């Protein structure tokens, strides 16, 4: 039964009987009702068509699909990028720290590789800048043991020296610390170290004793401060009066073997004049001139070698390579 039939109170089978023939209804009122119904139907039809049109319109011009976001990939944790030079520097520092804890000076490397280390003491001085230019020209490195109270005369050289290898402490005033009271001797070490580190803007962990004489307490004292005493296996004796560049090369050349540490001084013009010939000799022997920290990184002496070198006061048997 439809809603209309219910309103009329008629059974469902009478729905098709024209209204005008129903009892108690006038002709005019019936047509009016039909018109209302017709208007309602038309209104429904129009609204339905409109809805269909809207839907069709929406379908004919589909809205652009929203961009599909790229799949989210969890970022992998990456280690901080460190240059090869930075890694090598860190390894050099570790090698120094390992050896410094032993409290024994280093005279030379283990002679396993092809590196030699040239060391220049007593600077900076008037010939140091020329020396640095020669090292740059040959693309080699060296180590400089500076005297603290001389830095103020050439204040910019320490940074350049650190950039061309390494700097080390040669005390504040080049004192013979075996002749000083313990406290004054320690002050020579510490004041020199501080001045050099400040000027070079680099940590100072290497130490070289002036005059080659060190008190018994020095090794332990340096080791407790993360410092390492560096001696040498080849003495150029460039301080001897009358030394010519040729004579200097002749003295040094026999000792130019893997692991050698060569003692030189950049306060002598002769030494700087001899340097190109010395570097040419090193190159001709297929050796590589490196800083002391680099030598210790690649060719560190063993503990037994350190003790043997200390007893012998130098790498007297350096020719027998590969000692352990
Ligand atoms: Zn000296």
d(C-alpha 301, C-alpha 107), whole Å: 9
Name the domain count of the chain.
2
Q: Does one domain contain both 35 and 107?
A: no
Domain match, 162 and 284 both: yes
* One domain, residues 25 and 164: no
Determine the Cα–Cα distance for residues 21 and 181; give it in Å rounded to an integer. Answer: 141
Distance 122 CA to ligand 1 centre (A): 5
Instruction: Give 39's contacts (C-beta < 8 A, 6+ positions apart).
Output: none
3-class SS of residue 286: coil
Residues 7 and 135 in one domain: no
Dist CA 80 CA 45 (whole Å):
71
pLDDT for the residue numbered 63: 53
- Clarify whether residues 158 and 303 are in a common domain: yes
Q: Which domain holds residue 48?
A: 3-52
Nearest to 107 by CA among 252, 260, 255, 220: 260
Q: Answer yes or no: 214 catalytic.
A: no
Residue 65 alpha carbon to ligand 1 centre in Å: 80
Sign of the four-CA dihedral 131, 133, 134, 140:
positive
**Distance from residue 268's CA to the centre of ligand 1 (Å):** 12
User: How many CA within 13 A on the CB side of residue 286?
Assistant: 1
C-alpha 313 to ligand 1 mean position (Å)? 18
Domain of 286, CATH number, reads 3.20.20.370
Spell out which residues have Cβ within 5 A of ligand 1, the ion: 121-122, 210
Surface-to-core class of residue 179, CB atoms within 10 Å of its CB (0-12 exposed, 13-18 middle, 19+ buried)? exposed
Residue 12 DSSP SS3: helix
Distance between CA atoms of 112 and 297, rounded to whole angstroms? 12
Q: Which of 186, 189, 185 has the alpha carbon at shortest distance from 205?
A: 189
pLDDT < 70 positions in the chain:
1-80, 313, 316-324
Look at strands 142-146 and 234-235 and give their pairing. unpaired
The CA 155 to ligand 1 mean position distance, Å, reads 19
In a domain, 88, yes or no: no
SS3 9: coil
Catalytically annotated residue among 122, 169, 170, 265: 265
Instruction: Give the pLDDT of residue 44.
Output: 46
Do 149 and 15 sit in the same domain of this protein?
no
Asked whether the beta carbons of 295 and 261 are under 8 A apart, the reply is: yes
Cα 281 to Cα 283: distance, rounded to the nearest angstrom: 5
β-pair partners for 263? 119, 235
Place of tokens 């020579």: 188
Instruction: Find the 214 Cα to ligand 1 centroid distance in Å.
Output: 13
**Residue 121: active-site member:** yes
Only one residue has tokens 């050896």, namely 99
- Name, in order, each residue with C-beta under 8 angstroms of 2's C-beta and a sequence gap of 6 or more: 12, 15
222 Cβ contact partners less than 8 Å away, ≥ 6 residues apart:
100, 103, 189, 207, 228, 229
Q: What is the pLDDT of residue 179?
A: 96
């Amino acid at each position: 039964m439809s809603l209309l039939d219910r309103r009329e109170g008629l059974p469902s089978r009478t729905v098709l009987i024209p209204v005008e023939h129903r009892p108690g209804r006038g002709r005019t009122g019936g047509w009016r009702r039909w018109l209302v119904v017709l208007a309602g139907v038309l209104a429904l039809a129009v609204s339905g068509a409109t809805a269909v049109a809207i839907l069709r319109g929406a379908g004919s011009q589909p809205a652009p699909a929203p961009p599909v976001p790229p799949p989210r990939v969890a970022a992998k944790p990456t280690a901080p990028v460190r240059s090869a030079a930075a890694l090598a520097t860190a390894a050099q520092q570790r090698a120094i720290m390992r050896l410094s804890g032993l409290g024994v000076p280093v005279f030379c490397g283990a002679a396993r590789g092809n590196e030699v280390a040239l060391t220049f003491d007593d600077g900076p001085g008037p010939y140091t800048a020329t020396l640095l230019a020669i090292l740059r020209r040959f693309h080699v490195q060296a180590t400089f043991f500076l005297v603290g109270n001389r830095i103020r005369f050439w204040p910019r050289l320490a940074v350049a020296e650190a950039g061309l290898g390494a700097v080390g402490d040669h005390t504040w005033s080049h004192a013979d610390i075996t002749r000083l009271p313990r406290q004054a001797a320690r002050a020579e070490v510490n004041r020199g170290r501080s001045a050099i580190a400040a000027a070079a803007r680099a940590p100072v962990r290497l130490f070289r004793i002036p005059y080659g004489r060190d008190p018994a307490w020095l090794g332990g004292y340096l080791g407790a401060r993360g410092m390492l005493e560096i001696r040498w296996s080849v003495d150029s004796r460039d301080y001897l009066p009358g030394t010519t560049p040729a004579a200097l090369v002749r003295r040094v050349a026999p000792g130019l073997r893997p692991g050698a540490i060569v003692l030189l001084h950049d306060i002598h013009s002769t030494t700087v004049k001899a340097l190109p010939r010395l570097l040419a000799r090193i190159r001709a022997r297929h050796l590589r001139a490196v800083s002391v920290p680099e030598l210790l990184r690649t060719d560190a002496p063993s503990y037994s070698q350190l003790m043997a070198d200390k007893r012998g006061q130098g790498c007297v048997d350096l020719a027998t390579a590969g000692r352990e």
